Structure 1
Amino acid sequence: MNDFTSAVASRFAVGRTLEFTVEDRRGPLSPDDAAAVRDLARDAESNDGVPPLSEQPLLSLESAEAPVRHVIARASSAEQHRHAGRGGRGPRGPRLPQVLAYAQIDLGGTSRAGAELVVHPLVRRRGIGLAVLSRAMHVASARDRSLALWAHGDLPAARRLARSRNLVVVRELWRMERPLPAPEDLEAEGLAAADPPEGYRARTFVPGEDEPVWVRLNSRVFADHPEQGRVTMADVRAREAEDWFDGDAFVLVERESDGEVVGYCWTKVPTETPRTGEIYVLGVDASARGTGLGSWLLRAGLERLAAKGATTVELYVDGDNEAAVATYERAGFKRANADVQLAVG
């Protein structure tokens, strides 16, 4: 059942009004609504050159376990009827999208509720984004949290929307990248992994066995991280179900003395962009830091990506994580762009 539905009006094209509703609901979304949100995200990415929703919100669309709320703006029933009379086409010709705008609010944090929002390119600057953002802020406030909105690619439209509610940048997530040499050229660039540091051994992740061990280690490594430290077994299984998942591309490192897993490098090669690989997540337990294990894991990840034919590698890191940024810069990574998180200062 929806908690809230309101009817509002917005200018759409020259000289006429587009009536729309804004609803906020718990998940999971229906398959039709989830598909409509994915269509909306694809249309926005095609227009903007930047995906408006990151991986986690897309995986949470139909999840009954994710601690999220969904805010959806759609054309009113009367508006849909009017457009249906034109064969589903708007006054200027383009088809009226099934979902005009969407936001997802993550309520799993303790003080801030992370959110991502997208408005269809055909109906921007009509007040729809503002209506959805206002409702998202209300959802967060009702649960004693402030809203922290991600703006992927830090686009001007997102900044304008944020300013309308006095939101300022509170966090930067950098995307860093570097060219990836062919497998036979890794050693020449000092990127070959060779053997792990003394006292450690490497193996690959075993689906169906290693999930609990990895979740516990990841929670320790990223205990202070607002998103990564909250990854659950359900999150891991959702990623294992994706077509890009490959256990052989997920390296675990054990301490030889007790067999405890103390480090990992999980890599990803999306099926739609196989020439670009990603260091998906890399972590080292506090007990193994200072051993060179982190640098070795990075090289091991690069080896696996090169073996899969990737020619570019990317990773994401918080801009204020100076130690991690320095490590990646030494390995030849450079900042490519940044996503920003906006909140009340």
Structure 2
Amino acid sequence: MKNSLSVHSATDAAAQAAVREVAEQAASVDGYRPFNEQAMLDIASGRREPFLLTQAGGEAVGAAILGAGELDLVVVPGSRRRGVATAALPSLLDRVPAGEQLFAWAHGDHPGAAALAVRFGFASVRTLLQLRVSPIPEPAAAALSQGLRIEAFRPGVDADDWVALNALVFAHHPEQGALTATDLAARQAEPWFDAGDLLVARDAGGRMIGYNWLKIEPGDADRVGEIYVIGVHPDAAGQGLGRALMNAGLARLLERGCQAAALYVEADNEPAVRLYRSLGFTDFTVDVQYRRDAR
């Protein structure tokens, strides 16, 4: 496999379509996508570069996304356990600038990914849980303190407030806390965005103090709604606002016809994990992030 494998940039439209096809093949077997939403947005914006792994004759056997200190790699199910990733990684790592730290996600926490990590000098640094509840239980009425209200996001009005609150809530989160107004606008342009699915909580003075952003992919036959991101202002923490926002979000998902709800949470975020489990969420998949220190 090593002698016949080619790793080449997939910047043209046909090659990028092949990258998406590889990802779809993997998702149809694994049950989850090998590239997260941010990785796909990075390709579209040019922040990161897609690569296609092909055998002699041009058959696509894998794909990768590299750049900005991050690497994602997937091999099509029919070509796994044949040394494809082992053969591709030296070429991909050679493209990393000298002195740059590199992070890589293993979606699904495959044992093969763990073995590759050790072989190429990566160490596990984060664990991300995907939790699900199915069917969605009838949620309790959102209990709000006097003067608080939960309502829909207002495009063109609430953007700056949301970006500022999100940055505050996720100040120590490497991805979510870095979202800008441009990133928010890019997500609002996605076909799944619906302002009614971005619930914001306001205090008596109208200040935004929390939010629960829902994501429902159009055409999803399984009708799985995602708690895309939820946040509460530090000043309002510990007052039940997170639970109220979760109940409001579950009610909205039921209203929109969803049969199940999913969310991602850091495994070491014990208060959030306890809240979600108390609402009926259980483990679905585990993602592990690895880090390769600068050399």
TM-score (ref. length: structure 2): 0.88
CA distance in 1, matches of 2:145, 2:12: 49
Partner of residue 64, structure 2 = 103
Deviation at 1:75, TM superposition (A): 4.3
Query: Cα distance 1:121–1:58, how it changes in 2: closer, same or farther (>3 A)?
Result: same
Alignment of 1:289 with 2:237, yes or no, is yes
Closer/same/farther in 2, CA of residues 37 and 305 from structure 1, 3 Å limit: same
For residues 200-215 of structure 1, the aligned pairs below 5 Å read 200-215=148-163
> Does 2:64 align with 1:116?
no
- The 2-side partners of 1:334 and 1:150 are apart by 22
SS in 2 for 1:270: coil
RMSD of aligned residue pairs (Cα, Å): 2.4
- For residues 288 and 147 of structure 2, the distance between their equivalents in structure 1, rounded to whole angstroms, comes to 40
Tell me how far apart the structure 1 counterparts of residues 285 and 32 of structure 2 sit (CA, whole Å): 11
Within 5 Å, which residues of 2 pair with 1:141-290?
141-142=97-98, 144-181=99-136, 185-186=138-139, 191-193=140-142, 196-257=144-205, 259-271=206-218, 272-290=220-238
CA distance in structure 2 between the aligned counterparts of 1:256 and 1:54, rounded to whole angstroms: 37
Measure the CA separation in 1 of the matches of 2:178 and 2:8: 27
Secondary structure of residue in 2 paired with 1:237: helix
Question: Greater RCO between the two (CA within 8 Å, min separation 6)?
Answer: 2
2:54 counterpart of 1:74: yes
Match in the other structure for 1:49: 31
Question: Could you say which residue in structure 1 is the equivalent of 2:17?
Answer: 35
Alpha-carbon spacing, 1:330–1:30, altered in 2? closer, same or farther (3 Å): same
Structure 2: segments with no counterpart, 5+ residues:
none
Q: Distance in 2 between matches of 1:124 and 1:197?
A: 54
Deviation at 1:344, TM superposition (A): 4.2
Of stretches 312-321 and 29-38 in structure 1, the one that deviates more from structure 2 is 29-38
Displacement of 1:125 in angstroms is 4.0
1:292 to partner: Cα distance: 1.6
Structure 1 position 61 matched with structure 2 position 43: yes
Aligned residue-pair number: 292
Correspondence for 2:90 among 134, 148, 161: 134
Q: Secondary structure at the match of 1:154?
A: coil
Q: CA deviation at 1:138?
A: 3.7
C-alpha distance in 1, partners of 2:234/2:28?
Answer: 42
Name the SS of the counterpart of 1:225 in structure 2.
coil
Deviation (angstroms), 1:44: 1.6
Residues of 1 paired with 2:81 and 2:132: CA distance?
33
Distance (whole Å) between structure 2 residues aligned to residue 328 and residue 338 of structure 1:
16
Structure 1: 5+ residue runs without aligned partners? Answer: 1-9, 12-16, 81-95, 108-112
**Matched residue of 1:61: which SS?**
helix
- Structure 1: distance between partners of 2:71 and 2:221: 26
Which structure has the larger Rg?
A: 1
Shift of 1:135: 3.7
Q: Which runs of 4+ in 1 moved over 6 A?
A: none
Q: Deviations over 1:184-236 (max 9, x none)?
A: x43xxxx322x532232222012233222211211111010011111222322
Q: Please identify, of 218-227 and 50-59, the stretch whose mean Cα deviation from structure 2 is larger.
A: 50-59
Deviation sequence 1:147-189 (CA, Å, 0-9, x none): 221111112332332232133322110011123446xx43xxx
Assess if the C-alpha contact under 8 Å between 1:179 and 1:312 holds in 2.
yes
Aligned position for 1:22: 7
Match of 2:254 among 290, 296, 306: 306
Structure 1 Cα separation of the partners of residues 253 and 162 of structure 2: 21
State TM-score, norm by structure 1. 0.76
